């Protein structure tokens, strides 16, 4: 049976990427060694890091005022590493709490200084994004989660702010042309749209660093990582390599314009189907719906288990909603073909 992988993360990767990664496990770039066996300071691997950094900057349209780092600890570590590096004694972090991940960013930032929650959508169970932001005086940075993976909302236009702008783009990085230049720091765990678990990319504008007096442990200091060319210690070699393969794939497919075209097409199909079928409904405000993660429900909740059973029987992987949200979540990252969404929509239509 053909499987359709709607996993929310780690998630589907292009078949070409898996084939190339598998080959490199045995023989990396004709070195006769596995990618798992090479030294991280050899030119072979330094070239991998350099090329991945170059492609990321090219896709983002960013220049030499930004640096690209490959770090560990997941996007979750960035919830504390960002305030640790950026928030000084007199500063304040303004954070949008539009779901599970933004909420964690709030909790961690509080360990380093005052935090103002400037967009809170808990009143409507995070089914929309409150975009009326009122930043307090003295705000050092505004932090947004560009795509709320769990709740199925996404910022389609970013807020204008005179403070720094920080984006957790873990679940929608490289999904379409994006105003990356609006951001001073962007981070993303690779395992949703960019590669394998184990590496987080951080893209940071150099001039914003070094402004806090707080002592920062070397391993958590962005400046130290920059000085070391993202090779401060042993990096997650294989994960970085899989990211490079995925980045090459994105460019070869036609870059972010092509990714956006495909993702918009998939999203339009799934939301149109949900909106047309009385057995399903999507509570997310239309203007905030995510093109990466469609979150929706059965009109009759007692039929949810039967629908999930049918999905399982038909090879639809990973479509059960997040445990605190329930319902259905269909994740449609870059590598998911339109045909998988079509097959899923046909299944929904057959479930009357």
Ligand X SMILES: *Cc1c(COP(=O)(O)O)cnc(C)c1O
Q: Which residues bind ligand X (CB under 6 A)?
A: 9, 74-76, 101, 145, 149, 168, 170-171, 189, 192
Contacts of 154 (CB under 8 A, 6+ apart): 129, 146, 147, 148, 172, 288, 289, 290, 291, 292
Please, what is the minimum distance in Å from the beta carbon of residue 247 to ligand X? 18
Q: How far is CA 80 from CA 73, 74, 107, 216, 235, in A?
A: 10, 11, 9, 12, 20
Q: Using DSSP bridges, classify how beta strands 164-168 and 139-145 pair: parallel, antiparallel or unpaired.
A: parallel
Please, what is the minimum distance in Å from the beta carbon of residue 3 to ligand X? 22
Matching residue, tokens 């779901």: 99
Identify the active-site residue in 192, 266, 288, 320: 192
Active site residue 101: yes
Identify the active-site residue in 97, 168, 184, 221: 168
171 or 178: CB nearest ligand X: 171
80 or 348: CB nearest ligand X: 80
H or E segment at 330? strand 328-331
Please, what is the minimum distance in Å from the beta carbon of residue 147 to ligand X? 6
Contacts of 61 (CB under 8 A, 6+ apart): 180, 181
Q: Using DSSP bridges, classify how beta strands 147-148 and 153-154 pair: parallel, antiparallel or unpaired.
A: antiparallel
298 or 330: CB nearest ligand X: 330
184 and 164 Cβ atoms separated by less than 8 Å = yes
Q: Which residue(s) pair with 67 in the sheet?
A: 204
145 or 273: CB nearest ligand X: 145
Q: Which residue is nearest to ligand X (CB)?
A: 74
Please, what is the minimum distance in Å from the beta carbon of residue 290 to ligand X? 11
Active site residue 97: no
- State the angle between helix axes of 255-276 and 237-253 in degrees (0 to 180), rounded to the nearest 10: 80
Please, what is the minimum distance in Å from the beta carbon of residue 77 to ligand X? 7
145 or 212: CB nearest ligand X: 145
Matching residue, tokens 């303004």: 94
Active site residues: 101, 168, 192
């Amino acid at each position: 049976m053909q499987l359709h992988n709607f996993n929310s993360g780690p998630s589907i990767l292009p078949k070409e990427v898996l084939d190339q990664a598998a080959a490199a496990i045995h023989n990396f770039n004709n070195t006769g060694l596995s990618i798992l066996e090479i030294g991280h300071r050899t030119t072979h691997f330094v070239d991998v890091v350099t090329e991945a950094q170059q492609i990321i900057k090219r896709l983002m349209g960013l220049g030499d005022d930004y640096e690209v780092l490959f770090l560990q600890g997941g996007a979750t570590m960035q919830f504390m590493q960002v305030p640790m590096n950026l928030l000084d004694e007199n500063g304040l972090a303004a954070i949008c709490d539009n779901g599970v991940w933004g909420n964690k960013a709030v909790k961690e930032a509080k360990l380093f200084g005052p935090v103002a929650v400037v967009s809170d959508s808990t009143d409507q169970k995070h089914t929309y994004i409150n975009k009326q932001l009122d930043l307090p005086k003295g705000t050092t940075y505004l932090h947004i989660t560009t795509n709320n993976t769990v709740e199925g909302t996404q910022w389609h236009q970013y807020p204008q702010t005179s403070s720094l702008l920080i984006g957790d783009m873990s679940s929608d990085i490289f999904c379409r042309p994006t105003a990356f230049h609006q951001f001073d720091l962007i981070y993303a765990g690779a395992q949703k749209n960019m590669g394998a678990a184990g590496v987080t990319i951080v893209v940071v504008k150099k001039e914003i660093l070094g402004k806090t007096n707080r002592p920062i442990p070397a391993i958590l200091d962005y400046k130290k990582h920059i000085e070391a060319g993202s090779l401060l210690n042993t990096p997650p070699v294989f994960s970085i390599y899989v990211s490079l393969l995925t980045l090459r794939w994105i460019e070869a497919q036609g870059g972010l314009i092509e990714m956006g075209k495909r993702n918009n097409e998939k999203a339009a199909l799934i939301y149109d189907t949900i909106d047309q079928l009385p057995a399903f409904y999507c509570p997310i405000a239309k203007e905030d719906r995510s093109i990466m993660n469609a979150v929706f429900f059965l009109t009759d909740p007692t039929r949810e288990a039967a629908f999930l059973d049918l999905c399982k029987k038909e090879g639809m992987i990973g479509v059960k909603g997040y445990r605190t949200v329930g319902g259905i979540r269909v994740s449609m990252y870059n590598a998911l073909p339109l045909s998988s969404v079509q097959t899923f929509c046909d299944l929904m239509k057959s479930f009357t």
